[in-house]
Amino acid sequence: MAQRRGGSKGSQRERGGAAGSTGGGAIPAAGAKAPEFTAPAAGGRTVRLSDCRGRVVVLYFYPKDDTPGCTKEACGFRDDWAALRRAGAEVIGVSPDSPASHERFASKYDLPFVLVSDPEHRIAQAYGVWQAKSMYGRTYFGIARTTFVIDRDGRIARVFEKVKPEGHSRQVLEEVERLNREA
C-alpha cells in the first residue's frame, strides 16, 4: 500500500516515518527468539531486553501515550501490576513517543512499569508491528496494538494480536501464570 503524503494533519513522522517508510517484517511466531533491543525509556533509563533474561517479559506495543485505548490498556497493566510481579513478570510498554512524553503519561496515571521510546520504529519493525493502516480512505503506517509474552530463555511464548485494551492485562496474567506452571 502506498503511503499518502500531504493533505492530512500531523508531521511526516506521525504519518509513517521518513519518506518511503515501510512496515516491518512478519510478526515473530511463538517459539522464535525474541528480537533484541536497546532503547531509551522514561527517567533517563536505557532498557535492554537482554537485561531481563531469566524473567518473563510482557512486551506490549501501543500507538500513542495518553489516548483513550492506550490509557485503558496501560491502566489495566497498572491495576494487575502486583499480580504480574508476583508471577515474576517484567512489563515493558513500547510506543513511538519520546521519553519525556512517557514520563508525563506514567506520572499522570501512576504507571509502575517502564515505557520505552521507539521514535524510529526499529523495535516495532523488528517485531512486525509497524504496519500499514487505513482510516477514512487514507493509508498510513502505525503501531498495531500487539503484546508478546517472552519466556525466561528469551523466546516468544505467546503473541496477542489485534489487542482489545479492555481486559487484556488479565489475559496476559493468565498466560504468565500458565508459563510458571509449565516451568
How far apart are alpha carbons 131 and 5 in whole angstroms?
Answer: 16
Catalytic option among 42, 70, 87, 179: 70
How far apart are alpha carbons 107 and 92 in whole angstroms?
Answer: 16
Tell me whether residue 52 is one of the annotated catalytic residues: no
Asked if residues 165 and 153 have their Cβ atoms less than 8 Å apart, the reply is no
CA 125 remoteness from chain centre:
11
Orientation of helix 99-109 relative to helix 68-79, angle to 10°:
60
Asked if residues 166 and 75 have their Cβ atoms less than 8 Å apart, the reply is no
How far apart are alpha carbons 112 and 51 in whole angstroms?
Answer: 18
C-beta atoms surrounding 119 within 10 Å = 15
Asked if residues 162 and 170 have their Cβ atoms less than 8 Å apart, the reply is no
How far apart are alpha carbons 80 and 60 in whole angstroms?
Answer: 14
Catalytic residue positions? 70
